[in-house]
């Protein structure tokens, strides 16, 4: 009995503990990233942004949380109740579950699985279900149309995201996310003889076109402006979320932001060297990896927020054209070029 406790139950408890810790940190982080998002947006438009709740408005997200929870959830009379309530849980649950494989520092992943990259790709391709179930179950025209548009958009950009991931893993030779980060210890910087500038070793410099494509595709995949055609706050209402209110709406909202932070983390891991320090200097190397990871994610989120503030919204046909006629051929060509280059030079 004691033996089975040590071999099965204790690891189980440790995993549950780790997951809870990650969940709490992630949710706190999102509360403040939401605040940063609104502040940046406000600053660009010469407004103040949230500044009433708490000092400098720091508690705004928590006030919003309480508001969402104590409001009455309204379920439309003709809605398919089960699916209607299931959809937000699917959206938020799937978004959160992708974080299980993200290594936030060396060896700091809940599940350091061999096919980590594929896992993230698989789960993020499932996130479409939250959208389409919500849109259909509302039993109303506009959510349904919004859901269809959103689904088409997400599926289109998944293709180019997939090819970008293929290029990176061609350079690395592993689907394990930790291996992808560790492979960025050696790269262009080391090769041209500047060993201390380890930020030159990362993939963003030798795969720069892929870095840009991934960033833009991530914006489209998460329905962020300039690709937020589904929500388009100034024209439509909220796409597939029109009929949702209070806690179910909050879950959709949460899922969306968790996915955005995940995309920032993915860009960090694939292109910006994950938890590695940008300069190979003694005291910088002693800074814990998670700090670097956090700073990089915050930087990328800032980029997401800035893009939201000053890029005009795309039209739907332009969005589809960009996805299928520009990004798909470009990323496919880059896969072929990278593979050929690696085969000829034997770089890896």
Partner 1 sequence: MLTGPAAVFFYFFSLIMVASAVMVVAVRNPVHSVLFLILTFFNAAALFLLAGAEFLAMILLIVYVGAVAILFLFVVMMLDVGFIELRRRSFKYMPIGVLIGFLLLAELIIIFLSSSFSSKFSAVVSAPIDMVTRSNTQALGDVLYTDYAFYFEVGGIILLVAMIGVIVLTLHHRTGIKRQSIAEQVSRTSETAIEIKKVESNKGI
Under the criterion CB under 8 A, does residue 140 sit at the interface with partner 1? Answer: no
Our CB check for partner 1 shows the closer of 158 and 201 to be: 158
Under the criterion CB under 8 A, does residue 197 sit at the interface with partner 1? Answer: no
Assess contact for 117 and 175: CB atoms under 8 A. yes
Note the helical H segments in the chain: 2-4, 10-44, 60-70, 81-97, 116-126, 128-137, 141-172, 177-183, 188-191, 203-206, 208-221, 246-271, 282-285, 289-310, 316-321, 328-345
Work out how close the CB of 68 gets to partner 1 at its nearest, in angstroms, rounded to a whole number.
Answer: 26
Work out how close the CB of 257 gets to partner 1 at its nearest, in angstroms, rounded to a whole number.
Answer: 22
Phi-psi region of 200 (alpha: psi -120 to 50; beta: other; left: phi over 0): alpha
DSSP string, 162-219: HHHHHHHHHHH----HHHHHHHTTSSHHHHTT-TT-GGGTSHHHHTHHHHHHHHHHHH
Total residues interacting with partner 1, rule: CB under 8 A: 28
Task: Name which position in 132, 238, 266, 267 contacts partner 1 (CB under 8 A).
Answer: 132
Using CB under 8 A, which of the segments 25-33, 35-43, 127-135, 194-202 binds partner 1? 127-135
Work out how close the CB of 104 gets to partner 1 at its nearest, in angstroms, rounded to a whole number.
Answer: 22
Assess contact for 245 and 73: CB atoms under 8 A. yes
Under the criterion CB under 8 A, does residue 317 sit at the interface with partner 1? Answer: yes
Under the criterion CB under 8 A, does residue 25 sit at the interface with partner 1? Answer: no
Under the criterion CB under 8 A, does residue 155 sit at the interface with partner 1? Answer: yes
Tokens linked to 136 = 């259909």
Assess contact for 323 and 156: CB atoms under 8 A. yes
Map residues 237-276 to x or -, x wherever contact with partner 1 holds by CB under 8 A: ----------------------------------------
Task: Name which position in 25, 115, 290, 309 contacts partner 1 (CB under 8 A).
Answer: 115
Assess contact for 229 and 132: CB atoms under 8 A. no
Task: Name which position in 33, 96, 175, 261 contacts partner 1 (CB under 8 A).
Answer: 175
Residues 57-96 that bind partner 1 (CB under 8 A): 80, 83
Work out how close the CB of 99 gets to partner 1 at its nearest, in angstroms, rounded to a whole number.
Answer: 17
List of residues contacting partner 1 (CB under 8 A)? 4, 8, 80, 83, 113-115, 118-119, 121-123, 125-126, 128-129, 132-133, 136, 144, 148, 151, 155, 158, 175, 317-318, 321
């Amino acid at each position: 009995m004691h033996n089975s406790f040590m071999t099965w139950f204790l690891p189980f408890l440790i995993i549950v503990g780790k997951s809870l810790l990650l969940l709490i940190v992630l949710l706190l982080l999102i509360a403040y990233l939401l605040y940063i998002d609104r502040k940046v947006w406000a600053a660009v438009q010469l407004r103040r942004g949230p500044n009433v709740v708490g000092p400098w408005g720091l508690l705004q997200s928590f006030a919003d949380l309480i508001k969402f929870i104590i409001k009455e959830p309204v379920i439309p009379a003709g809605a398919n109740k089960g699916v209607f309530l299931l959809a937000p849980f699917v959206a938020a649950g799937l978004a959160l579950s992708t974080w299980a494989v993200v290594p936030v520092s060396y060896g700091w992943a809940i599940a350091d699985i061999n096919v980590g990259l594929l896992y993230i790709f698989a789960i993020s391709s499932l996130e479409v279900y939250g959208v389409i179930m919500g849109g259909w179950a509302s039993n109303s025209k506009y959510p349904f149309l919004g859901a269809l548009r959103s689904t088409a958009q997400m599926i289109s950009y998944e293709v180019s995201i997939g090819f970008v991931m293929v290029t990176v893993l061609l350079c690395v030779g592993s689907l394990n996310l930790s291996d992808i980060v560790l492979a960025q210890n050696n790269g262009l910087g080391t090769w041209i003889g500047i060993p201390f500038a380890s930020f030159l070793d990362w993939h963003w410099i030798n795969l720069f076109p892929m870095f840009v494509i991934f960033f833009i595709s991530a914006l489209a995949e998460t329905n962020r402006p300039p690709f937020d055609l589904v929500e388009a706050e100034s024209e439509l209402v909220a796409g597939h979320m029109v009929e949702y209110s209070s806690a179910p709406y909050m879950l959709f909202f949460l899922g969306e932001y968790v996915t955005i932070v995940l995309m920032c983390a993915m860009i960090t891991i694939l292109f910006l060297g994950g938890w590695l320090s940008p300069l190979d200097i003694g005291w910088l190397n002693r800074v814990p990896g998670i700090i670097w990871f956090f700073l990089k994610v915050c930087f990328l989120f800032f980029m997401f927020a800035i893009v939201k503030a000053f890029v005009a919204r795309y039209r739907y046909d332009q969005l589809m054209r960009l996805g299928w006629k520009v990004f798909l051929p470009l990323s496919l060509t880059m896969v072929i070029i990278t593979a050929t280059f690696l085969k000829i030079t034997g770089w890896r």
